[in-house]
A and B are shown apart, each in its own frame.
Chain A
Amino acid sequence: MIRIALFLGLLLALSGCSGNWGWYVVDPRTTSGWNNLRFLLSGLEYTVYLSAVAITISMTVGLLVALPALSPFPWLRRASRVYVELVRSVPLLVLILWVYYGLPQLTGLTLSVFWAGVIALALSDSAFQAEIFRGGIQSIARGQYEAAYSVSLGYRDTMRYVILPQALRRILPALGNQLIYMLKMSSLVSVIGMQELTRKANELVVVEYRPLEIYTILVLEYLVLILIVSSGVRWLERRLQADES
């Protein structure tokens, strides 16, 4: 990953010499460049906040959808299946538009851009979370349930203290993937006016007409953000593994 960053840095340094670039637009040494840079970075807070709230909700909903998928009752399994199939087949961009423009008409509620974004992202991701949780829980051996039941634990305590802690460890890499996916997909919420990273870049491009430099900065913003997140996930994985050995 460090190599990729170095490669990109090199590419930029080289391109700086070629004359087609106009880095002045984000040159921190000039006042306007510095202000532009700060303007671009100011979207970071919303991108992170939006993604964090959405993934918290989508994990919760995902778990609640996964549990009936594992139930002995066929109608519960079917309900869970229908939810996953339905939600999974709507493109995220379409879902964002539908939640923001459609849902208020249907319900009479007015949604802020932020919450429309959160709902659309969380809804869309919850179907994938449900599949991840289902797989993770299913991978835990039958004997773990039996041992928990044999020391008198009920279903809820068995899930909470025995099954889910083990399942979570196993699905941690997949959850990390979903978080990264969420951070990237949050860029789509720019279409309804959410002032996150991508929206800020779009707005600056309109003013400065320097799409190459501005979108390159945008790429780097996502790159750095996601490299930090994925190294965080890997740190957590290592820590949990070290716990047990």
Chain B
Amino acid sequence: MSAEMPEDSAPLIEFDAVSKDFGKFRALNGIDLEVGRGERLVICGPSGSGKSTLIRCINGLEQIDSGRIVVDGVALEPGGRGARQVRGKVGMVFQQFNLFPHLTVLENLTLGPVRARGLSRADAEATARRYLARVRIPEQAEKYPRQLSGGQQQRVAIARSLCMEPGIMLFDEPTSALDPEMINEVLDVMTELAETGMTMIVVTHEMGFARRVADRVVFMDAGEIVEMAPPDRFFTAPESQRCRDFLQKLLHH
């Protein structure tokens, strides 16, 4: 595992024997994982395998039950209070976009920077317009989310996260709720983001994206990391039977 880590850099995110339960259901079972600065990780696996839970633990949306996560020097521990501090360093994009429907696109993008980062409205708007241009929808700034297509909404959501200037971006099945013809416009934006050197953890079943962009691909099942390898090896020679079965199903889908 450590052989694949980029050398001479301390891990930016570190999971140490992390477990998480939902009642009697064990969502994460003793996860160990290190993610280096600038690394792109793609996580896949069947539903209920714990992949969403894993990334939601990184910005404290889920409290872990045992073990420890360190994100850029901030520790998240069971019952700990590191979540707020970590959220300033980590952006997150959700499957359902979760834009604020009562605010315009521009207001969606400036709310966090103004309220949490203490930027002036003018600075926040300038930043917002810069990122809207980067996700290629500068002309939609004054509209409300419901006036946009799904693909546009998800790109707004990406821009909203980027406005917080995070060092890490988490993507929780960012294209699963999109119509097929809109998937690529979102993946293209994510690919460009990867090229800027952003550290990214992406939960997705878009294996083409994984092949193109990922440094490592992780396969999870039943709350555990079953397989982890660079894409060329992951797709051609997976070691575990569970991973082979999963890829088989995905490709014949």
Contacts and interface: CB of A to CB of B under 8 A. Distances in A.
Contacts of A144: 98, 100
A245 B144 contact: yes
A228 to B, nearest CB: 27
A146 interface: yes
Given A144-B100, A146-B61, A146-B98, A154 B84 contact: yes
Given A166-B101, A244-B101, A150 B161 contact: yes
A169 B144 CA distance: 16
A245 B148 CA distance: 11
A157 interface: yes
Contacts of B96: 141, 143
B147 interface: yes
B203 interface: no
Contacts of B112: 151-153
Interface string A51-63: 0000000000000
Contacts of B98: 141, 143-144, 146-147
Given A161-B115, A244-B144, A151 B164 contact: yes
Chain B interface extent, by class: 20 to 34
A9 interface: no
B94 A147 contact: yes
B59 A150 contact: yes
B94 A146 contact: yes
B92 interface: yes
Interface in A7-32: none
Nearest to A162: B100
A101 interface: no
Nearest to B147: A245
A244 B107 CA distance: 13
A153 B61 contact: no
B144 A150 contact: no
A31 B63 CA distance: 76
B111 A150 contact: no
Contacts of B102: 165-166, 169, 243-244
A146 B60 CA distance: 10
Nearest to B115: A157
B116 A150 contact: no
Contacts of A165: 102
Interface string A143-175: 110111111111001000110011001000000
A243 B143 CA distance: 10
Interface centre among B115, B116, B144, B157 (most CB of A within 10 A): B115
A165 B101 CA distance: 10
B67 interface: no
Contacts of B50: none
Contacts of B99: 147
Interface in A82-139: none
B117 A152 contact: yes
B115 A153 contact: yes
A157 B161 CA distance: 17
Contacts of B92: 146-147, 150
B244 interface: no
Given A146-B94, A157-B115, A244-B102, A151 B144 contact: no
Contacts of B164: 151-152
B88 A152 contact: yes
Contacts of B101: 166, 244
B191 to A, nearest CB: 22
B151 interface: no
B160 A151 contact: yes
B91 interface: yes
Contact of A150 (B87, B115, B146): B87
Contacts of A150: 59, 61, 87, 90-92, 161
A244 B144 CA distance: 6
Contacts of B163: 151
11 contacts: A141-B98, A146-B94, A147-B92, A147-B160, A149-B59, A150-B59, A151-B91, A152-B88, A153-B112, A157-B116, A243-B102
Given A149-B83, A150-B61, A152-B164, 8 more contacts: A143-B96, A144-B98, A144-B100, A147-B92, A147-B157, A150-B59, A154-B84, A245-B144
Interface of B: 59-61, 83-84, 87-88, 90-92, 94, 96, 98-102, 111-112, 115-117, 144, 146-147, 157, 160-161, 163-164
Interface of A: 141, 143-144, 146-154, 157, 161-162, 165-166, 169, 243-245
Instruction: Name the 3 nearest CB pairs between A and B, nearest first.
Output: A151-B112, A152-B116, A147-B98
